[in-house]
């Protein structure tokens, strides 16, 4: 690493192998926050050396997600204002497949130093070795069969490989004695006996580097000062430190973050539900709410504050406050945070964000006035946990509801006496709905506000000595078709804005017919 600069430089280096795991976004966010907190540089590098797992379009998708969330790299790959993939920075290229000559050059250097060696073992031999070690309950490790071959033996094996149309791999020659210590910024000092470390493959037979070689070479040449990644990479880190020593380079500082866990403490994985960041965004989790939630997965600023803007996160973020224990992914907490953000949205902005979800639910929003849509949004804003809920919650504002007649009967009346009002439960509901329809027919359109309706209908209840529930329950169900919904005054006044008094009366009469 260039020692003339002390500038903080972090990187996010994902593989383009499909959807963007929420854990990857946490890794990117922590690296980004740490760099920005220290006036440093955040780099996005793409590690595409695992050619078998590459997914077309994965880089574009990753960049779209990061741009949406506001995690914008200073160097490496990014999306321009036209959403075209671009690359910037002086230490690239930032795509590993374009750096093959650099890796191969350094592998040869390691071989010359005796810090790496060619391995000619066939897959069959390696499989048999693993089976034997497993049977003996030993950790599966390469037995260093090719490590001490003479130059003549290496030459003969190389010629044999060429004649068979294959290439050898190159393995790291791990020191057989001593210890390697990781000075981790989160977990403290972690020691490994070198004798227990495997002679891992550095260069594959197809000429592509493994992660272990590429990450060390790239981090060195891109002058990375701090490597932030999850704790599952801790066992690989002593091998990386030994590679830095083998090259004569100074290693960056390491900060390994706790894993993301399901509520049952298992590792967060696709098998136990959605973990793709794209899925959360599609469901209507707001980008800023998702960032706020993810930031607290393994980090805590040690204050009472729970809602942070990106600028506030940058100001507060410090690796000192990253936890060692696994971070529980609590979807209920995400729902709570997202609900807070939704409640703080301007109604015009909220409607704009809700329109795609209404359309997904089959609503032609072009048919309705902006005032009507805003009224519906205001009615549901306090209740929404995510934007995708809006279709199910508000369908009755756009189409007459379907429901069973039994739902119109006030549930508390079913177990109570008729209180002198006479008739069966259904007949009682029918009578009151008929009276309500007549009441609405007498009302002027200007009296259909929530406040006026509440006054008028409560006076109606008092005048006839009715129970509130026996009137308000069937009224609300007749308008919504739902067992649970906003109150009848809010619903009726909102319907009046978009569909008028006649629609309210029609729904009441349909309810009467059902009974």
In the structure, how many helices (H) and strands (E) does the chain have?
19, 13
Pick from 462, 460, 457, 459: nearest CA to 476: 457
How far apart CA 370 and CA 458 sit, in angstroms, is 30
How far apart CA 169 and CA 184 sit, in angstroms, is 31
Backbone angles phi and psi of 190, in degrees to 5: -125, 120
Backbone angles phi and psi of 119, in degrees to 5: -120, 125
The structure tokens listed for 162 are 């060429």
Half-sphere exposure of 108 (CA within 13 A, CB side): 7
Backbone angles phi and psi of 260, in degrees to 5: -85, 135
Pick from 433, 486, 438, 439: nearest CA to 459: 439
**Using alpha carbons only, what angle is made at residue 95 by residues 35 and 225, rounded to the nearest 5 degrees?**
30
User: Is the Cβ–Cβ distance between 20 and 52 less than 8 Å?
Assistant: no
Bond before 93 cis per omega within 30 degrees: yes
User: Is the Cβ–Cβ distance between 10 and 219 less than 8 Å?
Assistant: no
SS3 40: coil
User: Is the Cβ–Cβ distance between 261 and 271 less than 8 Å?
Assistant: no
Among the options 270, 324, 411, 412, which is catalytic?
A: 270
Backbone angles phi and psi of 211, in degrees to 5: -55, -40
User: Is the Cβ–Cβ distance between 33 and 195 less than 8 Å?
Assistant: no
Please indicate whether residue 270 is annotated as part of the active site.
yes
How far apart CA 314 and CA 295 sit, in angstroms, is 10
The structure tokens listed for 73 are 């790299």
Alpha helices in 118-264 (DSSP H): 123-135, 151-163, 211-221, 237-247
Pick from 258, 190, 286: nearest CA to 27: 258
Hey, which residues are catalytic here? 270
């Amino acid at each position: 690493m260039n020692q003339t600069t002390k500038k903080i430089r972090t990187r996010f280096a994902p593989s383009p192998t499909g959807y963007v795991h929420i854990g990857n976004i946490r890794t990117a966010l922590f690296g980004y926050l740490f760099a920005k907190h220290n006036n440093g540089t955040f780099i996005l590098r793409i590690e595409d050396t695992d050619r078998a797992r590459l997914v077309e379009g994965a880089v574009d998708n990753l960049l779209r997600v990061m741009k949406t969330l506001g995690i914008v790299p200073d160097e490496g790959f990014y999306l321009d204002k036209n959403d075209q993939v671009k690359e910037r920075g002086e230490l690239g290229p930032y795509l590993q497949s374009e750096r093959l000559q650099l890796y191969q050059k350094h592998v040869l250097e390691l071989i010359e130093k005796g810090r790496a060696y060619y391995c000619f073992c066939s897959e069959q031999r390696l499989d048999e070795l693993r089976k034997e070690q497993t049977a003996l309950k030993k950790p599966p490790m390469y037995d260093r069969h090719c490590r001490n071959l003479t130059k003549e033996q290496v030459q003969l094996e190389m010629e044999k490989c060429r004649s068979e149309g294959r290439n050898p791999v190159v393995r790291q020659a791990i020191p057989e004695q001593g210890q390697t210590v990781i000075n981790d910024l989160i977990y403290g000092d972690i020691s490994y006996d070198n004798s227990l470390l495997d002679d891992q493959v550095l260069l594959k037979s197809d000429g592509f580097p493994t992660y272990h070689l590429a990450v060390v070479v790239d981090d060195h040449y891109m002058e990375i000062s701090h490597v932030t990644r999850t704790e599952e990479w801790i066992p690989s880190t002593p091998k990386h430190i030994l590679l830095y020593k083998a090259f004569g380079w100074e290693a960056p500082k390491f900060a390994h973050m706790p894993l993301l866990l399901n509520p049952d403490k298992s590792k967060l994985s696709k098998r136990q539900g959605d973990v793709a960041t794209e899925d959360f965004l599609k469901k209507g989790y707001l980008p800023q709410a998702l960032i706020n939630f993810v930031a607290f997965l393994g980090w805590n600023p040690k204050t009472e504050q729970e809602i942070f803007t990106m600028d506030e996160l940058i100001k507060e973020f410090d690796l000192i406050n990253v936890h060692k224990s696994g971070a529980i992914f609590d979807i209920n907490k995400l729902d709570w945070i997202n609900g807070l953000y939704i409640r703080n949205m301007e109604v015009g902005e909220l409607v704009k964000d809700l329109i795609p979800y209404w359309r997904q639910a089959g609503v032609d929003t072009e048919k309705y006035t902006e005032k009507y849509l805003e009224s519906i949004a205001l009615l549901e804003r306090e209740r929404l946990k995510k934007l995708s809920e809006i279709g199910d919650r508000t369908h009755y504002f756009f189409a007459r509801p379907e429901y069973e007649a039994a739902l119109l009967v006030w549930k508390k009346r079913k177990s109570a006496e008729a209180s002198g009002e006479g008739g069966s439960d259904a007949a009682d509901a029918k009578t009151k709905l008929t009276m309500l329809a007549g009441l609405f027919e007498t009302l002027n359109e200007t009296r259909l506000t929530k406040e006026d309706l509440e006054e008028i209908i409560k006076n109606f209840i008092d005048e006839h000595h009715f129970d509130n529930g026996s009137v308000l329950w069937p009224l609300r169900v007749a308008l919504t078709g739902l067992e649970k919904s906003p109150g009848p005054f809010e619903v009726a006044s909102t319907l009046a804005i978009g569909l008028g008094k006649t629609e309210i009366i029609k729904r009441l009469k349909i309810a009467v017919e059902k009974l």
